[in-house]
Amino acid sequence: MEDRHIEIDGHKYPIQDEYFPLSLKSPFMYGENSLKVQKYLNMVYQAKLTEHGIYGHATAKAVKNNMEIDEITEERFKVIQNYLDAMA
């Protein structure tokens, strides 16, 4: 796997699916959509590292729609957002 990162103010942050140590109890880690969800979380986290970030609900929804993950409901998105905020 190639070493992907984003550089902000001279600091390099890794960009990879393994960057998300989600709990194994998480409902997002089960089922056929788990890989899609991991990729989605990775996109959201990458966006949060940029200067614009994903703080606007409309922007986050656009990312969700772009990934075509219909299974991520608004309620689940809030859980994901809370998780990402806790990581910050």
pTM for the model: 0.28
29 CB-side CA count, 13 A: 9
pLDDT tens digits, residue range 30-81?
555 566 666 666 666 666 555 444 444 445 555 555 554 445 556 666 666 6
Residue-number span of the structural domain to which 16 is assigned: 5-87
Task: Report the number of distinct structural domains present in the chain.
Answer: 1
Residues 44, 59: Cα–Cα separation, whole Å? 10
Number of DSSP helices (H) and strands (E) in the chain, helices first: 3, 2
